[in-house]
Structure 1
Amino acid sequence: MGKYQAYPDYKDACIDWLGAIPEHWMTSKLRYTFSFGKGLTITKENLKDTGVPCVSYGEVHSKYGFEVDPLRHPLKCVDEEYIQSSPYALLKNGDIVFADTSEDIDGSGNFTQLVSDELVFAGYHTIIARPFDRECCRFYAYLLDSKELRTQIRHAVKGVKVFSITQAILRGVNIWLPPLEERAKIASFLDHETAKIDTLIDKQQQLIKLLKEKRQAVISHAVTKGLNPDAPMKDSGVEWLGEVPEHWAVKPLRFLGTCQNGINIGADFFGSGYPFVSYGDAYRNYSLPTSVSGLVRSTEKDREAYSLLRGDVLFTRTSETIEEIGLSSACLESIPEATFAGFLIRFRPAELTLHPEFSKFSFRNQLIRAFFVKEMNLVTRASLSQELLKKLPVPFPPLEEQVKIAEFLCVQAERFQSLFDNAEKAVLLLKERRTALISAAVTGKIDVRNWQVPVNQETQQQEAG
């Protein structure tokens, strides 16, 4: 923030977690600047693909964040009859929608602001905050997004597993306000500066997406075409697989080993006992962690039937979407005394068929997705049966070549991980800068009263308009 000037005089705001504010600013409470209401009393079952757009707590928490516009952001809808029956839940441009519950304390106080004149409802589990002064709407959004104000809210919410925020809590929040003309200036400054930061964040996130696609392409090529570009090829007989090296075999999984569903046991048995490999352990990782946090009171017979040995591969067998079905995780080290979740299928290869490190990459290659998408039946949840998994065509080279492919892909994986880490670090630093800039501007740590849009950028904006 070194390039910005401070205000000439400050005073103690007498508000926890805030400190000093400019001398001419005032303090107040949200109840004097907003009226509050509730969203529609509905459930997910009331949401449809057509009708009047609706912002529910899910959009606030995970989708659109700081602002929402139904012309840019796809929203679920409700019947038009709610316009007559529930006009209290209709939003105006500039209204703020809070999620009234959060699964973690950091999400307490999450909100989104409507930036459209379109007809939009606030949905279930939401609180509507309507600013009295509509010209200050944008400033209020930045104020509510500052870490100083968010800290107040987090210390006021109640909850253990679910954290709830109420209208009473919001009404009692202490705020600080510059004069009206300064609020507009601060909002314009932050709109301009955060847009630049958001553009940089978007570029880094696009880079991460491209890197993931490139990594998948490298893996898929290596485990289906090999490392020798001059190797003679043959038709695999599988449409989505295409050609494979002439000396490779292609067999359905059923001829390469055995399959076993995971343990099905009551919830009361979890929390103590022996190691338990969860759905998440397999879903998130190319290879299983050697130390798992889950525990279950399993019997000796259970631990024998649902064991995990080096070379085993776990597949996810149930999900709400096909994209998450059949994701694999290889066991590179045996996990003593462990069992695995019922939502997983264990494939145990016969000896001398598949090398564990080769399996780690082979079963996560993107071409396999084509098999599952084509073959899966999706009703309300997708479910992978053993019989379908056993039909999966598996291309595999001789063991010696499997080792070489695995070694090559391990090196490539490290290279890609380094690039991912750098890009994700850049995103984190940019987000931290965005947060710091918002807090500095709305708490008066920096004086932006004389700030102007740079001339060249102002010209570009006018030309774009």
Structure 2
Amino acid sequence: MAAKYQAYPEYKNSSYSWLGLIPSSWIISKVRYLTECLDGKRIPLNATERGEMPGPYPYWGANGVVDHVGEWLFDEDLVLIGEDGAPFFESNKDVAFNVSGKVWVNNHAHILRPNSHKICSIFLKYALNRVDFHLYINGSTRDKLTQADMNAIALRLPPLEEQHTIAAFLDHETARIDRLIEKQQRLIELLKEKRQAVISHAVTKGLDPNVPMKDSGVEWLGQVPAHWVIRRLKHIAQLQSGIPKGKDLSGKQTISVPMLRVANVQDGYVKLDDVHQIEIEPHELMRYTLQSGDVLMNEGGDNDKLGRGAVWHGQLEPCIHQNHVFAIRVSDIEPEWLSLVTGSKYAKYHFYCVAKQSTNLASISSSNIKETPLVIPPKIERQQIMKYLVNMTSKLDQVSEFASRQIALLQERRTALISAAVTGKIDVRNWQLNTSTQAAESDLPMAAEQAAEYRV
């Protein structure tokens, strides 16, 4: 960044040790002198007085997303800042937002009306998002940014015209970075779709496009290779239910063991960075202990979690599972094959069809899992398909991991650029939006439009 943007020619001491040096033409001012806090105030409307909801208008909460009905209705340009502290202010996410037009604001956001003669509202938003809130949230208010805390925030303040230039510069540059991030996110989604399609085709059609086919007898599965067999899961595996939580253990001898939850069982892998411990009676350990080779499968939750699973390789010993995670112990076939098949499109569709549905949630019973039809090729062919899929999914995963790293780097650059501009580390006073500043957005090695080969 230093090579692309120059520093100001002269700096001075800010008189605040934590703010350091500032450009010589800048000053330090607190939020209370730059804005009016409108918390608890609203524009009265006849509809409100009649007990009716005027609108429809957006609802804004502490994190800038549409939220439940707010307490106050406004119709002007404002800056909202969330008031919920740790861990909200520790997540390095934006906490301040510009809003305009008629909006409802709930009581988890502070409402600031910028003094247009002193501060640009867009500059204020960027500056607030780079504040070290640990300097202002402390003691008994650790979990909340009070109005007094907010008013005490000291900002580095350039002249008003310069604020508008910095705001326009950041709007342009962050929008460009956001578009690049969006492309990488879209690429990751395409790779996920491609991965699913590759697995589903291989485990239901095989690798030989010329092999004779037959009707599978399963409507949503269609034709399968003629020499493959279809068997119900209950004929090749045993299903183990997990331990229920909330059992009264007062006065009983217990031991503490790791327990896998739905959140630990992801699609194709087990997430072990947040494994909870649970107290159980010693005799329950053998009943619920996982064995290496068990195929873990979620009972439900959100629709995307239904039937989600992975092979357990004994990463923690001993380890048990809760009752919303099934452990399937196979015979005659490899657990990896079962995991691939149950993760394919046709198996997921089966789970969806037999699941008990509620609003945005679904759950599948052990009896319905046992009835899952499985496609089973001969052993040698299964091994060939699995080897092929390891190779193919590894390549797709590498590209996806690369895209994720690009997103992280872009997000870091976005944060650093905003911080440098609103603290006076870089001088953008001469910046202008013209063709010379329209930097190409194809400067990443793997943009989404370059990934047409991954489209399903």
In 2, Cα distance between equivalents of 1:170 and 1:272: 47
2:3 is the alignment partner of 1:5: no
TM-score by length of 1: 0.81
Cα deviation for residue 260 of structure 1 reads: 2.7
2:311 is the alignment partner of 1:330: yes
Cα deviation for residue 291 of structure 1 reads: 9.5
The residue identity in structure 1 corresponding to 2:353 is K
Residue in structure 2 matched with residue 131 of structure 1 by the alignment: 114
Residue in structure 2 matched with residue 214 of structure 1 by the alignment: 194
Contact map agreement 2:60 2:104 (CA 8 A) in 1:
yes
Q: Deviations over 1:319-339 (max 9, x none)?
A: 1x2222211122234854321
Contact map agreement 1:275 1:338 (CA 8 A) in 2:
yes
Q: Aligned pair in 2 of structure 1 residues 435, 336: CA closer, same or farther (>3 Å)?
A: closer
Task: Give the match's secondary structure for 1:163.
Answer: coil
2:406 is the alignment partner of 1:426: yes
In 2, Cα distance between equivalents of 1:90 and 1:292: 42
Residue in structure 1 matched with residue 260 of structure 2 by the alignment: 277
Cα deviation for residue 121 of structure 1 reads: 0.9
In 1, Cα distance between equivalents of 2:378 and 2:315: 23
Matches within 5 A, 1:318-397: 318-319=300-301, 321-333=302-314, 336-349=317-330, 351-352=331-332, 354-380=333-359, 381-397=361-377
Cα deviation for residue 421 of structure 1 reads: 1.7
The residue identity in structure 2 corresponding to 1:56 is G
In 2, Cα distance between equivalents of 1:122 and 1:361: 47
Cα deviation for residue 104 of structure 1 reads: 5.2
Matches within 5 A, 1:165-184: 165-184=145-164
Tell me which protein shows more helix as a share of its residues. Answer: 1
In 2, Cα distance between equivalents of 1:159 and 1:247: 71
Contact map agreement 1:261 1:346 (CA 8 A) in 2:
yes
Residue in structure 2 matched with residue 298 of structure 1 by the alignment: 280
Residue in structure 2 matched with residue 45 of structure 1 by the alignment: none
Q: Aligned pair in 2 of structure 1 residues 368, 36: CA closer, same or farther (>3 Å)?
A: farther
Residue in structure 1 matched with residue 419 of structure 2 by the alignment: 439
Q: Deviations over 1:324-355 (max 9, x none)?
A: 22111222348543211122122222x21x20
Task: Give the match's secondary structure for 1:27.
Answer: strand
Q: Deviations over 1:83-123 (max 9, x none)?
A: xxx4x453633322425245455238842424442x21112
Residues paired across the two proteins, number: 421
2:428 is the alignment partner of 1:448: yes
Q: Aligned pair in 2 of structure 1 residues 178, 113: CA closer, same or farther (>3 Å)?
A: same
Q: Deviations over 1:354-377 (max 9, x none)?
A: 202222322222332322333333
Task: Give the match's secondary structure for 2:58.
Answer: strand
In 2, Cα distance between equivalents of 1:155 and 1:239: 63
Q: What stretches of structure 1 of length at least 5 have no aligned partner?
A: 41-47, 65-74, 459-465
Residue in structure 1 matched with residue 90 of structure 2 by the alignment: 106
2:56 is the alignment partner of 1:54: no
Task: Give the match's secondary structure for 1:6.
Answer: coil
Cα deviation for residue 29 of structure 1 reads: 0.8
**Percentage of pairs with the same residue:** 36
Contact map agreement 1:89 1:123 (CA 8 A) in 2:
no
Residue in structure 1 matched with residue 447 of structure 2 by the alignment: none
Matches within 5 A, 1:17-36: 17-36=18-37
In 1, Cα distance between equivalents of 2:92 and 2:428: 29
In 1, Cα distance between equivalents of 2:273 and 2:383: 25
Q: Aligned pair in 2 of structure 1 residues 139, 252: CA closer, same or farther (>3 Å)?
A: same
In 1, Cα distance between equivalents of 2:166 and 2:198: 47
Cα deviation for residue 288 of structure 1 reads: 3.7
Cα deviation for residue 188 of structure 1 reads: 0.8
In 1, Cα distance between equivalents of 2:30 and 2:217: 71
Over aligned residues, Cα RMSD in angstroms? 3.2
Q: Aligned pair in 2 of structure 1 residues 265, 225: CA closer, same or farther (>3 Å)?
A: same
Task: Give the match's secondary structure for 1:314.
Answer: strand
TM-score by length of 2: 0.83
In 2, Cα distance between equivalents of 1:89 and 1:112: 18
Q: Deviations over 1:242-275 (max 9, x none)?
A: 2211122222322222223210133887x96233
Task: Give the match's secondary structure for 1:297.
Answer: strand
